[in-house]
Structure 1
Amino acid sequence: MRTLRRDPILVALFAVTLTGFVLFALLEGDPHRQSQVFWCAQVPMDAALAYGAWRLRALVPHYRRFWSAIAFAGSSFTIGDSFQAVHTLLNPATASTTGTTVQSAFFIVGMSSNVLACLLFPHGLRSSRERLVFWLDATTVLVGGGVAAWCFAVYPVTAPVDRVTASITAALVVVAAFAATKAALVPRPPMARVAAWPMVAAPVVQGLAAFLPGPFQDQDHSYVFMVLLLPSLLIAIGPRIQEAVVRTDGPVPAVKRKPYSLLPYGMIAVTFAVFLIALPDDVSTRFWGATAGVVVITVLVAVRQLIAFQDNVRLIDRLDVALDHLTDQEVLLREQASTDGLTGLANRTHFTEQLQQHLDEGGSPSVLLIDLDDFKTVNDTMGHAAGDALLVDVAERLRATVRADDLVSRLGGDEFTILLPDTGPEGARRVADDLQTGLAGHTRASIGVAWARPGDEPATLLSNADIAMYEAKRRGKGTSVCFSDEMGARTAADAEIIRDLASAVGGGEFTLVYQPIVALDDLRMTGVEALIRWNHPTRGLVSPVEFIPLAERSGHIVGIGAWALREACRQAARWRADFPGAGDLSVGVNVAGRQLRSPGFVDEVAAVLRDTGLPPRLLTIEVTETAVLDDEESAAALLGLRALGLRLALDDFGTAASSLGLLLTVPVTTLKLDRSFVESITTVGRQAAVATAVSQMATALDFSSVAEGIETDEQRELIRGLGYEYGQGYLFGRPLPPHEVGDRLQLLSGDSRAQGAQGVVRT
């Protein structure tokens, strides 16, 4: 957390607080002027809370609703306190720390949003027993806090106070108690403790200050104003600290809780203390004796229960130690148990043993590998319990479809296998068709079919079935495919390419070429798109169509994309330094969905811009629709990229199924019409209609529009007439190596009319 010491917002907040303290002291004896300082200092604190919470919405998508509610609360506080600050400045004679009706209304709205935030964030409690224990403990704490608030604020045991102010103060204490309880008891809180405790302490400090008698009720000393300003500082720094934690350590990990919590017992003690303080002076001795007995018995029972908890914890620890000392043979036997715990089917070990036995006996078995389509969506949208229920149901349907001597097993996750003894290709195909029929209307599955050939091992047969299954997914899912030698050869070739990709970046085998993007009105080159080329040492040039999908599937795209991004930005910065006419030349870099979802991608882009010196406005990140479709991680990354000041283009627009919906959720600045809508635009009416619609949407949403694949003057004129601002295609230039782009920029630098050239997209 060393970066917190240099954080400009935290430094500014502490500077505002220190300045307020100094002014409070200098204005001692003038409560009206002190109140003016108090309200003016509140406004930047409130604004920092709103700003910090809003930034965390994008950084922590899992808690987006929580931080949205906190940001709304901060905005409400900012509006109300700004009004109050102006009011005190215009009416100094009536200035005080008590807010007007307007300020109180916005304060209540903000506090209500904070309460909603506490209720919204997920508990992370899975079983009904865990939820029951949590709510029992939480209710105990809330009742204790409510009793204290009632006796010291709403109906105080001492001098009477203003009921409205006291009620609001009491609400603050209860909200703080509830927030502290959730942060202490749930396994995955929305904030790290170092960030949460200042925000929890803020209403506690404010509540205690209101409860204290004497000068805190009169507010005629400078230190009273200092104490009253502290809660605003505490609640403002919380989100900023949390942002530093997330950027340094990632999302808050699950917290391992103790088997029991001391919070409820502490609140029992608080309640008894309040009860004893609230007793009138004329209570009889008999009543005091009974009261003392109740208190002592409760304390003894609580202590006894805590001792029992400790005994249970020690017992569990001893049991864990005993389990750790099991012999290696016992562990091995447990791991090799033959049954899958969830479905009751055979597990991988048992399946492999049975398959090996059939092969050893000279049999000709077939294997079906079944993978449920889009099973992750079920888990993500309906929960793991629904996913487990689906797996159990699928297991029952598979058992009901096959013969009695066929072996159904679950390999793990959503993968199932079926061993068909002495079954050839035709019989295996029929079983696969029967399975598709049995699963239809319930779920969809991709099935790979393979059969044994002389010399096959279980691993070979399973690998062949796996290859066929992935081919079924490639063909659109929900179908069955039988293995062929051609599939095996293609898979082997793909595996070789994937293996070579691992060393291609380090070996300097990749280069970038740049295709010009021009303004359609005067054909000025306003930008370039960086395109990657692979010069393989033995294969020669490998088409991106061939290696990019394999790089994405294997994960190598992350390293390749990082190299391409840095190289493109470095080259663009060099052009700007070498050619005066390249001052506003933008560069577009394609980014895969896997890159967007990789941790720290936004920071990586920021570092590249910083290291190369390229202004963010001259970098365009191009993503396809499928890369960001229904993906919170990608959406958060795009928001972070947009916050850096660079541009976002939706590439190949119009080819995915949910293009229109993405325009409302993805913060793009540019639409790039796919070349498939341009190639026949002069002859096919439907393509012209789609191109027109995309241009109109871009204009209505204030996006820039780029048409790809322009190859003729006729296409250019038609596209320009439809309203497109920029074009890209062979008509304006094929992808060029850097030195040829430099030649064009040299000509551009010599043309005085080019000095006002604009970037390819608007911010």
Structure 2
Amino acid sequence: MTERRWSSPRRYVLAAAAVAGLSTLWYLGYLTLGGPSVLAYLGGPIASALGAVAVLALLRVVPMERAARKFWWLIFVLEASVATGRGIQAAYAFAAYPRPPAPPAWVSLFSTVGLLAAIVAICFVPLGEIAPGERWKRLLDRLIAFYGCFTLLWFAAVQPLIDADDSWPLRSKVTIGLAIVMIAVGIARVAFVPGGPVDRVAVRLVACSGLAAAAYAMFAGHAGHRATTPGQALLLPLGPLLVTFAVARQWRYTGARPQREAWLPYLAVVAVDVPLVATVFGPMTWAGRVVVLLAVGVTLLASLRQFVGFRENQRLIRAQREAQAQLSYDATHDSLTGLANRSLFRDRLAAALECGPATVIWVDLDDFKAVNDSLGHDIGDDLLVAVADGVRGAVGDDGLAARLGGDEFAILISEPTVDTDEVVRRIGEVLDGSLSEHRLLIHASAGIATAPAGTPLDHLMRDADSALYAAKQRGKANWVRYSTGMERPVVADAQLGADLRRGLEAGEFRVVYQPLVDLHRNQVIGVEALVRWQHPTRGVISPADFIPVAERTGLIVPLGRFVLRETCRQAAAWLAEFGPGVLQKAGPNVSARQLHDPDFVDDVRAALAESGLPGELLVLELTESAVLRGQQVSRTLHELHDMGVRLALDDFGTGESSLSLLRAFPASIVKLDKSFVDGIELDEPDTPEALARQAVARAVIQMAGALDLDTVAEGIENEEQAERLRRLGYSLGQGFHLAEPMRPEQITSMLAGQQDESAA
């Protein structure tokens, strides 16, 4: 394909080169051997005709944009017109030989029309888009290039032709002048080429094709009519040859990268100096004055271009400084809220502690994760921005407010005259109201710590964090000032987290099972899986101590995965040993953090597949707070339900949305919280609270029956409670009165005993 595309234009290039070469050889022979000089007129029209044919072939074969086709049609007009004019001139030369030819004036119109077409083509050829801010600079570059080139050509070609002793017809001078204008316009147009449908080199070659006429004019200015024969034979065929080269370039053109000839305007300024120096040290004529005026114009344009460049450089320097300032700001400020970030906060705190005492207020939003999970991260971000604006306004000039990450904020107060308690009060007022455009109510806990000058900043931040931890332990919306020893629970918590990770890797966790009992038959029909930690040095650690740590550190995900797999494995083993009817439910607890794990559903599917446990026997127990966690959790729960896994709503009745949950949550089981079982055995409750608990227990069993849900009563402590629950309609229960959590082998013994009783 490449060879075919190149072979076509090459024929025309070779043909035009052959014509120019033969014409040159003839002239050399003419100088040596003599002969009819009229043959000099043949090379120009033949070469121009070849140029026209080459352009036609390009237009016929190569697909181009409309603007490019217009350009090349105008170049065809150039070559065809020049070929016609020179052909007529040659015909008159042969007819009048051996006298000098005297063609009529109208013959020069052909060359004039062709040159005007070329000037229009070069002026309006699309060379690509230029940014609005670059147009004035590019215009100045082109004007400098044009006037610089025109000045040089005026001095070298036009002025000698005008001052020549031999009289040249006005039409010839006009034709040569148009050729010089074409050269200058072409050079100016390619001073900056962003890229376009016409090859940039092709435009240059077309523009430079007028150099043949310019050279002819320079020669004629010194040699007069004696230049006719060498000019016709040597110079005029070169213009069409350059056009065929331009055709070849366009034939292979595939699109060019933007390119600016930055050197061209400066070269034009230097080129002006040549005629200027020659004019200054020679006789001053009217043509010389034109050179001086053109040189002054070029100098003024160059000065204006330098001024524009200076202004542009100043703008770039300002933009760079602004960008550096923005980068510095971004490096020290939070991108979401605009508050100082952790890096800037630490720098300012270190500087403050070098000069005097400093106070740090560490603020953490309560239940912010629930906002993110239930309402989405966009609303969570809006809330953070609103909190930041409120904290910034409350602190004012009394300190530095910063966002340390997530929903943690910090305030640095370094001036001894500032009333820290007043700042805390103002922040508390802001955070106790509704925030953001969504009018969300939010609470925050805070730790406050003060340290004298010279205290390591990490110690002060640790103290503030310890105070915040103590505030969180007391509940929501608490503000605690640090006191000595307050850091010990934080350190212990961190140590427990490290031990937790190690314990998971070392296999220190065990699963125990609390039986789920049929209250009427007093038989085990299911189990709830509970995790226990046998620490090598601290002994048995209560789940109440390590589960919150696992939640905060994210280790609840691998811990929950272990409990899930072990529960499925053990339940499948009991089914294999005692038969399919031995258990109806095997229920591990699932945390909210696990439900947000994108691999949780796959973990459940893998645990069932590995153990062989039927999906309907697996019951995942979830609290109401875990269920109320947004769309992602809802999708996860429905996907589990579609797998056949059953879902149990644990601690039912303690939340604010228990009834509404049953409409959206695919629950199969509700577990009545222990708080509603306590005191249910009393015939005459001694307090309104006890009476209300009994009413809730009755309502739950009736509602569950209407919704076709299984109901489990938790926390049964004595036989009286079990009996009262039976009368209310409860058939399933859990509690220490029925059975405590047991090791797997104890459950195995219990199931074996039940099987023996059934057989008997």
Shorter-chain TM-score category? 0.5 to 0.7
Which of 668, 691, 694 is equivalent to 2:697? 691
Consecutive unaligned residues in structure 2, runs of 5 or more: 1-253, 260-319, 436-441, 683-689
> Residues of 1 paired with 2:698 and 2:352: CA distance?
63
> Residues of 2 paired with 1:677 and 1:737: CA distance?
28
Q: Equivalent residue for 1:223?
A: none
- Map residues 425-464 of structure 1 onto 2, 5 A cutoff: 427-443=419-435, 444=442, 445-453=444-452, 456-464=455-463
> Residues of 2 paired with 1:663 and 1:391: CA distance?
32
- Map residues 306-325 of structure 1 onto 2, 5 A cutoff: none
- Map residues 266-415 of structure 1 onto 2, 5 A cutoff: 334=328, 337-340=331-334, 343-361=337-355, 363-373=356-366, 394-402=387-395, 404-415=397-408
Q: Equivalent residue for 1:562?
A: 561
Letter in 2 for 1:436: G
> Residues of 2 paired with 1:587 and 1:380: CA distance?
28
- Map residues 587-606 of structure 1 onto 2, 5 A cutoff: 587-606=586-605
**2:757 is aligned with 1:751:** yes
> Residues of 1 paired with 2:530 and 2:567: CA distance?
9
Which of structures 1 and 2 has the bigger CA Rg? 2
> Residues of 1 paired with 2:725 and 2:607: CA distance?
35
| Paired residue secondary structure (1:352) | helix
| Paired residue secondary structure (2:622) | strand
Q: In percent, how many aligned pairs have the same letter? A: 46
What per-residue deviation string (whole Å, max 9, x for no partner) do you get for residues 34-83 of structure 1? xxxxxxxxxxxxxxxxxxxxxxxxxxxxxxxxxxxxxxxxxxxxxxxxxx
Q: Report the number of matched residues.
A: 432
Q: 1:612 to 1:310 in 2, by over 3 A?
A: farther
> Residues of 1 paired with 2:336 and 2:516: CA distance?
56
Letter in 2 for 1:360: E
> Residues of 2 paired with 1:746 and 1:591: CA distance?
29
Q: Equivalent residue for 2:61?
A: none
| Paired residue secondary structure (2:486) | helix
What per-residue deviation string (whole Å, max 9, x for no partner) do you get for residues 375-419 of structure 1? 567677888776666555544543443363522333345443221
> Residues of 2 paired with 1:348 and 1:446: CA distance?
19
**2:747 is aligned with 1:741:** yes
Q: 1:469 to 1:716 in 2, by over 3 A?
A: same
Q: Does structure 1 conserve the Cα–Cα contact (< 8 Å) formed by 2:557 and 2:593?
A: yes
Q: Equivalent residue for 1:500?
A: 499
Q: 1:521 to 1:455 in 2, by over 3 A?
A: farther
Q: Does structure 2 conserve the Cα–Cα contact (< 8 Å) formed by 1:449 and 1:468?
A: yes
Q: Does structure 1 conserve the Cα–Cα contact (< 8 Å) formed by 2:462 and 2:487?
A: no
Q: 1:498 to 1:385 in 2, by over 3 A?
A: closer
Q: Equivalent residue for 2:630?
A: 631
What per-residue deviation string (whole Å, max 9, x for no partner) do you get for residues 553-580 of structure 1? 1111111111111111111111122224
Q: Equivalent residue for 1:552?
A: 551
Q: 1:340 to 1:607 in 2, by over 3 A?
A: closer
Bigger mean CA deviation after superposition, 385-394 or 677-686: 385-394
| Paired residue secondary structure (1:591) | coil
- Map residues 706-745 of structure 1 onto 2, 5 A cutoff: 706-745=712-751
Letter in 2 for 1:441: G
Q: 1:454 to 1:508 in 2, by over 3 A?
A: farther
| Paired residue secondary structure (1:511) | strand
What per-residue deviation string (whole Å, max 9, x for no partner) do you get for residues 623-649 of structure 1? 111111142222212112112212111
> Residues of 2 paired with 1:385 and 1:729: CA distance?
44
Consecutive unaligned residues in structure 1, runs of 5 or more: 1-306, 313-325, 755-763
> Residues of 2 paired with 1:388 and 1:375: CA distance?
10
> Residues of 1 paired with 2:585 and 2:367: CA distance?
39
Q: Does structure 2 conserve the Cα–Cα contact (< 8 Å) formed by 1:368 and 1:465?
A: yes
> Residues of 1 paired with 2:624 and 2:372: CA distance?
23
What per-residue deviation string (whole Å, max 9, x for no partner) do you get for residues 217-241 of structure 1? xxxxxxxxxxxxxxxxxxxxxxxxx
Q: TM-score of the superposition, structure 2-length normalised? A: 0.52
> Residues of 1 paired with 2:376 and 2:743: CA distance?
50
**2:488 is aligned with 1:489:** yes
- Map residues 235-274 of structure 1 onto 2, 5 A cutoff: none
| Paired residue secondary structure (1:702) | coil
Q: 1:403 to 1:570 in 2, by over 3 A?
A: closer
Q: Does structure 2 conserve the Cα–Cα contact (< 8 Å) formed by 1:429 and 1:449?
A: no
Offset, 1:657: 1.8
Offset, 1:617: 1.9
Q: Equivalent residue for 1:704?
A: 710
> Residues of 2 paired with 1:348 and 1:387: CA distance?
20
> Residues of 1 paired with 2:523 and 2:331: CA distance?
71
Q: Does structure 1 conserve the Cα–Cα contact (< 8 Å) formed by 2:592 and 2:629?
A: no
Q: 1:367 to 1:310 in 2, by over 3 A?
A: farther
Bigger mean CA deviation after superposition, 670-679 or 444-453: 444-453
> Residues of 1 paired with 2:333 and 2:495: CA distance?
36
- Map residues 29-428 of structure 1 onto 2, 5 A cutoff: 334=328, 337-340=331-334, 343-361=337-355, 363-373=356-366, 394-402=387-395, 404-423=397-416, 427-428=419-420
> Residues of 2 paired with 1:449 and 1:624: CA distance?
33
Q: Equivalent residue for 1:520?
A: 519
Offset, 1:474: 4.6
